[in-house]
Chains A and B, each alone.
Chain A
């Protein structure tokens, strides 16, 4: 892909910021209850006297969570695509989100885990283990980690973990109901307290990922050339992957496994600003936030007065995109 002039890229970045502001306002204004605009403004100012203001106030943490999770997943997807040099890489497709789910479910059901910080650590450990596992399986044999082998290994692992998750939660009627909802992936039950608990992990993850942009640019040239440029290939790859895993694990711990955001967003961003990771990664984070927030708003509006969980909306948007990419690839390239 050709390099885009800096002016165009800055313009896209600005547009993304504006879009994010717009969807955030929409996310606070729209919902299953109609809230007059005056009440929304009052709620943003901190008032919650009328019913409408209270409703809008409750939507604020939800919006923040959607923005944060979307940014984390979009960024993690961009980093994973860079690390594996694989157009099909996505935390959902590579089984990382399901690994985090399985770890959390197992820890809660068998080891009595209940502290929210414990949730996050366990989710991150599960995400890291499954990422390592899928990458190892996908790298076996001739040709190393080809996109096809990685995607198949990830999908298989995902399916395997999903059935293990069902087996673990099924007999536990006490926790099964809430898990079933969590497993779909949603930002409905957000509170600032929960966001605060994952915030440190997300901050570290964001920092590591954004700082790996330069290393990912070198890796994109191929391992030999990157080593020739003085990049320590294995270290750079491990650090970037760790950042992505932190983001996925923390996001899954609060919002459940949400798929396809990490796939759709980086691809779109590459069309807009080209392949330079220093532009690509920040824009991926921004557009990831826009996509997830917009998907959440759409899920609230379409099925009024009920809600469609955001994990379902992203699957409905993302899967056709996945199919489009698969179709576009030449067989040899797969």
Chain B
């Protein structure tokens, strides 16, 4: 994973009197950021390893490693290789995709509420996937393609409905909420018409779940993340320049429209592939960015940290949901319960501060 360019002016107050101090601070911030990324990556790998080893039965690291290398280990080959490994990989990939895409869209629209799971992109991908699977009984590839088409279509629709001589974040969010309501009701309808009224399946498409993850589901999401992540990270510089406003960004040499389109398509692609595999895991896209911002501090690019936070969130939430309670909860319910209070808290805090959201 390549780190994006680090030496770029931090958008904080730049008092000319203390350029040297600012430079020092920036250098310190950059090294802190690298440290944070390293720590998050280590944590994510550790969580990944723990979910492979622990469960109903415990397998020592040696066994797990041999399974990953492709050796036959009695017992472990099935449990770890067939059940836990695809699930853990999907958690890692889907979490990373949601976190990365979420923070990208939040950054671009300069509003933490403008995350894909609030403005309807996830709902669109989810509705399309539910229709493709339940009503049309299509295969994994077609499902992913439809989910992406729907995600992009919804993003385009919300954006163009919100466009009235410029896009205002708040209008876009409210319109997204309206569109989500429609799409969720379509998903509910499709599921209520399913031949077997399976609540697990319903939960997968309404809140997200990793239950029964197979390699067939995981591989498209993995491939999409492998292609789209470098593409997005390549736009990191342009993206943070655009936070200063379109005019400033183009004065800095950023091709604003091209950056915006690339970023939207890549982010929506990540969301759609991850949603087609795991459902719209609730609030991961929404939570990862702000959490990463807290850890990294102001100024640095949040793309990689947010992706790692997303992976960590999904891995830990899935493990917790499976084993911490008497019942097995799908991951989306756990992240939903975590994210919901934060959403309300965010609104309270912004209102208190008198911000315009």
Binding site for B on A (CB under 8 A): 88, 137-138, 140-143, 148-149, 151-153, 155-157, 159-164, 166-167, 170-171, 173, 176-177, 180-181, 184, 259-260, 303, 306, 308-309, 311-312, 315-316, 318-320, 322-323, 326-327, 329, 331, 334
Q: Which of A141, A162, A177, A320 contacts B182 (CB 8 A)?
A: A320
Q: Which of A157, A173, A259, A306 contacts B344 (CB 8 A)?
A: A157
Residue tally, chain B, CB below 8 Å to A: 56
Do A164 and B182 have beta carbons less than 8 Å apart?
A: no
For the complex formed, measure the closest distance between the CB of B156 and the CB atoms of chain A, giving whole angstroms: 14
Known: A163-B336, A180-B202. Is A308-B354 also a contact (CB below 8 A)? no
Per-residue 0/1 for B160-202: is the Cβ within 8 Å of any A Cβ (1 yes, 0 no)?
A: 0110100010110111011101101110110011000101001
Majority SS at the chain A contact face: helix
B171: chain A residues within 8 A (beta carbon): 326-327, 329, 331, 334
A177: chain B residues within 8 A (beta carbon): 197, 199
State A181–B202 Cα separation when bound (angstroms).
12
Q: Which of A138, A167, A173 contacts B329 (CB 8 A)?
A: A167
Do B178 and A141 have beta carbons less than 8 Å apart?
A: no
A164: chain B residues within 8 A (beta carbon): 336-337, 340
Task: Determine if B292 is an interface residue (Cβ-Cβ < 8 Å).
Answer: no
Do B174 and A152 have beta carbons less than 8 Å apart?
A: yes
Known: A156-B347, A322-B178. Is A166-B333 also a contact (CB below 8 A)? yes
Given contacts A141-B354, A163-B282, A163-B339, 14 further A-B contacts (CB under 8 A): A137-B351, A138-B351, A142-B354, A156-B347, A159-B118, A159-B343, A163-B333, A164-B337, A166-B206, A171-B325, A316-B186, A319-B178, A319-B179, A323-B179
Do B181 and A173 have beta carbons less than 8 Å apart?
A: no
State A149–B184 Cα separation when bound (angstroms).
23
State A204–B283 Cα separation when bound (angstroms).
40
Which residues from 334 to 357 on chain B have a C-beta closer than 8 Å to any C-beta of chain A?
Answer: 334, 336-337, 339-341, 343-344, 346-348, 350-355, 357
B275: chain A residues within 8 A (beta carbon): none
Do A148 and B330 have beta carbons less than 8 Å apart?
A: no
Do B189 and A309 have beta carbons less than 8 Å apart?
A: yes
For the complex formed, measure the closest distance between the CB of B233 and the CB atoms of chain A, giving whole angstroms: 30
For the complex formed, measure the closest distance between the CB of B175 and the CB atoms of chain A, giving whole angstroms: 5
Do B181 and A170 have beta carbons less than 8 Å apart?
A: no
Known: A164-B340, A326-B171. Is A152-B178 also a contact (CB below 8 A)? no
Q: Which of B177, B199, B207 contacts A155 (CB 8 A)?
A: B177
Do B177 and A167 have beta carbons less than 8 Å apart?
A: no
Known: A163-B337, A176-B199, A331-B170. Is A323-B329 also a contact (CB below 8 A)? no
A156: chain B residues within 8 A (beta carbon): 113, 343-344, 346-347
Do B178 and A326 have beta carbons less than 8 Å apart?
A: yes
Task: Determine if B257 is an interface residue (Cβ-Cβ < 8 Å).
Answer: no
State A259–B347 Cα separation when bound (angstroms).
22
Do B199 and A167 have beta carbons less than 8 Å apart?
A: no
Do B203 and A166 have beta carbons less than 8 Å apart?
A: yes
Do B341 and A160 have beta carbons less than 8 Å apart?
A: yes
For the complex formed, measure the closest distance between the CB of B182 and the CB atoms of chain A, giving whole angstroms: 4
Task: Determine if B13 is an interface residue (Cβ-Cβ < 8 Å).
Answer: no
State A167–B182 Cα separation when bound (angstroms).
22
B206: chain A residues within 8 A (beta carbon): 166
For the complex formed, measure the closest distance between the CB of B346 and the CB atoms of chain A, giving whole angstroms: 8
Do A170 and B352 have beta carbons less than 8 Å apart?
A: no
Do B333 and A319 have beta carbons less than 8 Å apart?
A: no
29 cross-chain CB contacts under 8 A: A137-B344, A137-B347, A140-B348, A140-B351, A141-B354, A152-B113, A152-B170, A155-B174, A156-B344, A159-B118, A160-B341, A161-B340, A162-B336, A166-B203, A166-B207, A166-B336, A167-B329, A180-B202, A260-B181, A309-B189, A315-B181, A316-B182, A319-B179, A323-B161, A323-B174, A323-B175, A326-B171, A327-B164, A329-B171
For the complex formed, measure the closest distance between the CB of B307 and the CB atoms of chain A, giving whole angstroms: 23
Do A180 and B199 have beta carbons less than 8 Å apart?
A: yes
Per-residue 0/1 for B4-29: is the Cβ within 8 Å of any A Cβ (1 yes, 0 no)?
A: 00000000000000000000000000
For the complex formed, measure the closest distance between the CB of B266 and the CB atoms of chain A, giving whole angstroms: 26
Do A167 and B337 have beta carbons less than 8 Å apart?
A: yes
B332: chain A residues within 8 A (beta carbon): 163, 166
Q: Which of B168, B185, B350 contacts A311 (CB 8 A)?
A: B185
B354: chain A residues within 8 A (beta carbon): 141-143
State A219–B199 Cα separation when bound (angstroms).
47
Do B199 and A152 have beta carbons less than 8 Å apart?
A: no
A167: chain B residues within 8 A (beta carbon): 329, 333-334, 336-337
B177 nearest in chain A by CB position: A155
Known: A163-B336, A323-B175, A331-B171. Is A152-B182 also a contact (CB below 8 A)? no
